[in-house]
Structure 1
Amino acid sequence: MATVSDNGPGTKRVRLSPGERREQLVSLGVKMLRDRTLEDISIGEIARQAGISRGLLFHYFASKQDFQRAIVRRANEELLARTMPDRSLDLFSMLRDAVERYVEYVSENRISYQGLLRGPASGSPELMALADATRDAMVDRILAETPLAADDPELPRLRLVFRGWIAFVEETTLIWLREEQISRTQLIDTLVGALPALAMHPVLTEWLAGSADGTVLPA
């Protein structure tokens, strides 16, 4: 819990618990990540904004790399929260809504997004593992929403297909962010349309097609 110390007339210093201080530092890092690459986040600037010494930051994080991992982990959590499926929508609309919010998020964070996927940070095994965990979480979400039986023999293949679709979404969005040769609506149409085309599963394709044209499909 935060406490306030009186250090003399007109000066008060807020003392945070270790958990609160760590949260503050990670939040500052994520805020900076919105307009710069991970490598360009200055430990000194973070410490100044937090009102602590540079050395004290390493009381809460074992190393600069540990701090960077915490920032990326939080940014990935933000992305997953931003793209949470809206279960009030039909399957097709749910997919399109999530893709729209994904494109919106990466557009707002294009510098860090491009840096994490194509910059020096993308070669870090630890950061690659965090990115893969986020992709796996997205695959699990898609599978959880599809109208397929738990014992459907196609599930292993579809898991692979959905993972490939996410790679397609990432790469296509990266190119679009760099060149923007088509409209955002055209980009989203392309990303959404690619999933049933790749899946090649009759139930899933029918369900998505029925949802898209307004047909009411059985639950």
Structure 2
Amino acid sequence: MSSSRSGSESKRVRLSPEERRLQLITLGAEMLAERALQDISVEDIAKQAGISRGLLFHYFASVGEFHEAVARHVSAEFLAATAPDRSLGLFDMLRDSVERYVDYVEENRAAYHAILRGPSSYNPGMVTYVNESRSAIAELVLTELPIPPDDPDLPRLHLAIRGWIAFVEETILTWMSEKPIPRAQLIDLLVESLPALALSPALAAALRG
């Protein structure tokens, strides 16, 4: 019995340094659903990963660097999940991105709520990466719109898009907790709300397909 147990314990999967680092970051990202970024402890991460506390510092120079890596990972994962499909027309591209945005939130509900409303939302590192994500989304939308870079309305449009992103975040958070309308109607609401902010009839028409 004991030799069998020893044999199974010796058959632990060995991860490459890159795989181990990603594993630790992923575990940290999962913990965001339950606690603030600064409360993710080295001890808990090491225990879940099955490594010693000291080994974590082989991959990260400090706790602060680890927390920053977690925040960066969450931001990058979200942007990758919602990246526009440029093979589609403008309206279909917008709808596809919004659908995948909602998909991402449904699959990562607790973490998404924690990042925007939980204790982690006040962490300076997380605030930075969330704002960077919002800026990146705004730039992606602006890049795809049929407007020249010297358009005098560009600053106002950029501001309107940032407001739309905030609307999307709050609407999805409320929908997730209350589910007052079907998912398809939620998608319609989010997609149609952006053309409503357009500063010209031509741009609104382009966004509506």
Instruction: Pick the TM interval, shorter chain.
Output: 0.7 to 0.9
User: How do 1:1-219 residues align onto structure 2 when only pairs under 5 Å count?
Assistant: 11=10, 14=14, 16-17=16-17, 19-30=18-29, 32-33=30-31, 36-38=34-36, 43-209=42-208, 211=209
Give the deviation of 1:54 after TM superposition.
1.8
Q: Which runs of 5+ in 1 are unaligned?
A: 1-7, 212-219
Quick check: 2:35–2:119 contact (8 Å CA) kept in 1? no
Residue-pair matches, total: 201
Q: Report the 3-state secondary structure (helix = DSSP H, G, I; strand = E; otherwise coil) of the residue aligned with 2:194.
A: helix
Work out the CA distance in 2 between the residues paired with 1:45 and 1:86.
38
Quick check: 1:147–1:203 contact (8 Å CA) kept in 2? no
Q: Report the 3-state secondary structure (helix = DSSP H, G, I; strand = E; otherwise coil) of the residue aligned with 1:181.
A: coil
Query: Residue 189 and residue 34 in structure 1: after superposition, are their counterparts in 2 closer, same or farther (change >3 A)?
Result: farther
Work out the CA distance in 2 between the residues paired with 1:92 and 1:197.
13
Work out the CA distance in 1 between the residues paired with 2:206 and 2:15.
55
Q: Which has the higher helix share?
A: 2
Query: Residue 15 and residue 100 in structure 1: after superposition, are their counterparts in 2 closer, same or farther (change >3 A)?
Result: closer
Quick check: 1:162–1:199 contact (8 Å CA) kept in 2? no
Aligned to 2:3: none
Query: Residue 20 and residue 104 in structure 1: after superposition, are their counterparts in 2 closer, same or farther (change >3 A)?
Result: closer
Quick check: 1:139–1:163 contact (8 Å CA) kept in 2? yes
Matched letter for residue 46 of structure 1: I
Work out the CA distance in 2 between the residues paired with 1:124 and 1:9.
44
Give the deviation of 1:102 after TM superposition.
0.2
Work out the CA distance in 1 between the residues paired with 2:32 and 2:122.
20
Give the deviation of 1:208 after TM superposition.
2.0
Work out the CA distance in 2 between the residues paired with 1:56 and 1:104.
35
Give the deviation of 1:28 after TM superposition.
3.1
Give the deviation of 1:64 after TM superposition.
3.7
What's the C-alpha RMSD, in Å, of the aligned pairs? 2.4
Give the deviation of 1:118 after TM superposition.
0.5
Matched letter for residue 65 of structure 2: D
Quick check: 1:37–1:112 contact (8 Å CA) kept in 2? no
Query: Residue 15 and residue 145 in structure 1: after superposition, are their counterparts in 2 closer, same or farther (change >3 A)?
Result: closer
Work out the CA distance in 1 between the residues paired with 2:98 and 2:16.
38
Quick check: 2:32–2:114 contact (8 Å CA) kept in 1? no
Quick check: 1:38–1:68 contact (8 Å CA) kept in 2? no
Cα deviation digits, residues 14-72 of structure 1 (max 9, x gap): 3744x553233113333x34864555755434313433212332343344443233122
Give the deviation of 1:157 after TM superposition.
0.8
Quick check: 1:34–1:108 contact (8 Å CA) kept in 2? no
Query: Residue 173 and residue 16 in structure 1: after superposition, are their counterparts in 2 closer, same or farther (change >3 A)?
Result: same
Work out the CA distance in 2 between the residues paired with 1:12 and 1:116.
37
Cα deviation digits, residues 81-103 of structure 1 (max 9, x gap): 11111112111111011000001
Query: Residue 37 and residue 182 in structure 1: after superposition, are their counterparts in 2 closer, same or farther (change >3 A)?
Result: farther
Matched letter for residue 133 of structure 1: E
